[in-house]
Structure 1
């Protein structure tokens, strides 16, 4: 089981809050400090905490952009080092690439945000070669955002969607996936919409949603508001799987209503109950003939 109570979750949070350094190093320390928990779960919790910290501090740090650019220019000119931005990010306790974006927006005010994003994806486009080298250094020292991290996260999400479909087929579920539903005109769609509903521990299941992340309360309530409640209103009750575990209190939160069942893994075959049909013998014989 990868379901945490509040005390367990709070200990992990406090470790992250007290850590001073890069997120990639914090991730390594977390794995050593909490070996009883999976690295995927710890990494997911860390990513959420870093995003929350950035959300709280980004406006204040952005307001200091003039001074930060001046500090960078001074240190880069003096040292010629490739890790000036990295050290500044550690001191400010924000992801290095977030600082890179702030610096680039200030240095190149005539550039569109899309151009700045392209510079971060490809630092060779940055006219200032030393600044480009600093941005590149940040990319390879970062595990919270950036082109490499985005690719990894996308691959992980797709991997678990493929895993979900295979496990659903293995237990005999018949379903439509997101592509099928969008082709028929649906906009917000679960990963799987069951063609024939079934029961899970006595509750009706019409759809299944896959989340390759840890389910904390804020994240879960966001999913409920933006996705899950609309699935419930449209299709009826269903399952959301947090593959990297979840905080125990979200399973019973009032916002779930009667529509949302929270689990940390795909249910076993014996946990499902399927509809059975009594086919008249004469029809069964005809079906057998067709199948020969």
Structure 2
């Protein structure tokens, strides 16, 4: 089913009034049952990322970071099992994985008395068991598994889908006997930006 601009705008408007959670995706499907799950997920992701980009700076001020960190500490002191970081992220309309990154970085900075490297942060987000605090590790895990658009889990899914599409495209090119240069060959030749494939000989496409 082709999606019109009016339908897109209606979906985007609906998304402006719900929290960016998996539960919201279910509500979206119930509200627009005629649209496919993949279409709704794509729109959800696009609109969500627009929102995050618009508000990203305000969540990374020194005041905001300290506020989030202190709220996390106070929250887990009262109930360490509660999803403190996840609820905080939803409350301030910020991506759970990005909230986890902020608090994790602040925690490590206090523990090590130095700014942690991005490599270390990314490694701990991918594998929270590396975090030297069991409560925070659990909080970070809750954020990453409940984030629909950001975080290591989403990155893995996107990578898997991208690889699947690349395999299908390669099979189609081979089936049509079209000569092409693959991404790894382009990298070996020193190209900075490498699409999955480049046709060695241009082809005409007949469009109806």
Q: State whether TM-score is above 0.5.
A: yes
Structure 1: segments with no counterpart, 5+ residues: 203-270, 272-292
Counterparts of residues 261-280 of structure 1 (less than 5 Å):
none
Structure 2: segments with no counterpart, 5+ residues: none
How far apart, in 2, do the equivalents of 1:133 and 1:106 lie?
16
Q: 1:80 to 1:191 in 2, by over 3 A?
A: closer
Q: 1:182 to 1:131 in 2, by over 3 A?
A: closer
Q: 1:145 to 1:16 in 2, by over 3 A?
A: same
How far apart, in 1, do the equivalents of 2:122 and 2:186 lie?
32
- Structure 1 residue 114 corresponds to structure 2 residue 112: no
- Deviation digits for residues 230-287 of structure 1 (CA, Å, limit 9, x no counterpart): xxxxxxxxxxxxxxxxxxxxxxxxxxxxxxxxxxxxxxxxx7xxxxxxxxxxxxxxxx
TM-score (norm 2): 0.86
- Structure 1 residue 50 corresponds to structure 2 residue 48: yes
Which residue number in structure 2 is paired with residue 206 of structure 1?
none
Which residue number in structure 1 is paired with residue 25 of structure 2?
27
- Deviation digits for residues 22-44 of structure 1 (CA, Å, limit 9, x no counterpart): 43222222233223322222212
Q: Which of the two has higher C-alpha Rg?
A: 1
How far apart, in 1, do the equivalents of 2:126 and 2:120 lie?
10
Which residue number in structure 1 is paired with residue 134 of structure 2?
129
How far apart, in 1, do the equivalents of 2:194 and 2:122 lie?
29
How far apart, in 2, do the equivalents of 1:67 and 1:162 lie?
46
- Structure 1 residue 195 corresponds to structure 2 residue 200: yes
TM-score (norm 1): 0.63
Deviates more, 1:11-20 or 1:22-31: 22-31
- Structure 1 residue 89 corresponds to structure 2 residue 89: yes
More helix by share: 2
How far apart, in 2, do the equivalents of 1:182 and 1:112 lie?
27
Which residue number in structure 2 is paired with residue 225 of structure 1?
none
Give the superposed CA RMSD. Answer: 2.1
**Is the 8 Å Cα contact of residues 83 and 134 (structure 1) preserved in structure 2?**
yes
Which residue number in structure 1 is paired with residue 13 of structure 2?
14
**Is the 8 Å Cα contact of residues 175 and 193 (structure 1) preserved in structure 2?**
yes
Shift of the alpha carbon at 1:185?
A: 4.1
- Deviation digits for residues 81-139 of structure 1 (CA, Å, limit 9, x no counterpart): 24011111110111111101111222222222222222212222222221111111222
How far apart, in 2, do the equivalents of 1:129 and 1:190 lie?
42
Which residue number in structure 2 is paired with residue 5 of structure 1?
4
- Structure 1 residue 160 corresponds to structure 2 residue 165: yes
